[in-house]
Amino acid sequence: MNTSFVHGIHHITAFSGDVNENAAFYTKTLGLRLVKKSVNQDAPDVYHLFFADAHGNPGTDLTFFPFPNIAKMRDGYGLVSETGFAIAEDSYNFWLHRLREYQVTDLSETVRFGEKVITFCDPHGLKLSLSATPAPRDVEIFKNSTVPAEHQLRGFHTVRLKLHTAEPTRKLLTEIMGFRFVGTDSQWMRYESGQGGSGTLVELAEFPDQPQGRWGLGSVHHVAWRMKDVETEMALREKIAAAGLYPSQRIDRFWFESVYFQEPNGVVFELATDGPGFDRDEDMESLGETLILPPWLEGRRKEIEAALPEIRTDSVNR
């Protein structure tokens, strides 16, 4: 039996439009905490915002590169089609009422894999879902959230990938990364990693008649998978390289260590270590309140701050 190198979703990173619309939606409508206000380390004139539970725990963290003038994404295969969060079973009606009250777009209800699911879009077209799940999740409650503690999001539940041909991706997941098949629902196939269950899931479906998708406003840039430590990460990187998928070298992101590669249908995957964590350079009580730069960018602070738009205080719930 293969080692399950992956033990869940670490974070998901997407493109957004206006930074204040983005921050307001995720902190005020969804009740998450802005745990890190930084920049895209590869393009530091662009913010990198991290929304998560109170401590920014791996598995709770949806992050954004806000581009006010970015072109809209082109739907198609080779992209993440939906980012799914978990909610408590008895929070379903709370969230249905709340999302209607906030007039979110494309709101609908469905049942998948026996779970009640609410689907909707954020203000810039990113497709999201909330799945009612019975099992408790280890998330840190944010005491200043706009959402009552018992109804706060429980971290990621699953992520959906639109593929041209599923078999190469299935083989990568099960034979190299250690995922296990769970079942099918309509055309979607579900796989789990690590100990299984909510927060460890990925779902695949084939869309061979669609064009190849293209990044843009409302699309996910990459899915990061949880690695317990660097040793596990590098062991999996070696297997990925042996399979001919050309992973990057290990990159120090300061709060975690990263390796990037494209799975066979073109979705960008990241391997990210659980540590050191977001409190490496900020007190837990003040996460996300100031612009944090990694040490190698600190010397450019004045230039970087001048290029970034203001994030208004009324856009972020503290």
Distance separating alpha carbons of residues 114 and 81, to the nearest angstrom:
20
**Is-above-0.75 flag for pTM?**
yes
Residue recorded with tokens 């869309």: 207
From the CB of residue 175, how many other CB atoms can be counted at a distance below 10 Å?
12
How far, in Å, are 6, 70, 77, 82, 132 from residue 202 at the CA level? 12, 28, 15, 10, 16
Give tens-digit pLDDT for 132-141. 999 878 899 9
Give all domains of the chain, ordered by start, each with its CATH number: 9-315 (3.10.180.10)
pLDDT of 2 reads 54
Distance separating alpha carbons of residues 257 and 244, to the nearest angstrom:
22
pLDDT of 224 reads 98
pLDDT of 135 reads 80
Which residues of the chain are under the pLDDT cut of 50?
Answer: 1
Distance separating alpha carbons of residues 162 and 182, to the nearest angstrom:
18
Distance separating alpha carbons of residues 297 and 23, to the nearest angstrom:
23
pLDDT of 136 reads 79
CA 201 and chain centroid, separation: 12
pLDDT of 4 reads 80
pLDDT of 1 reads 43
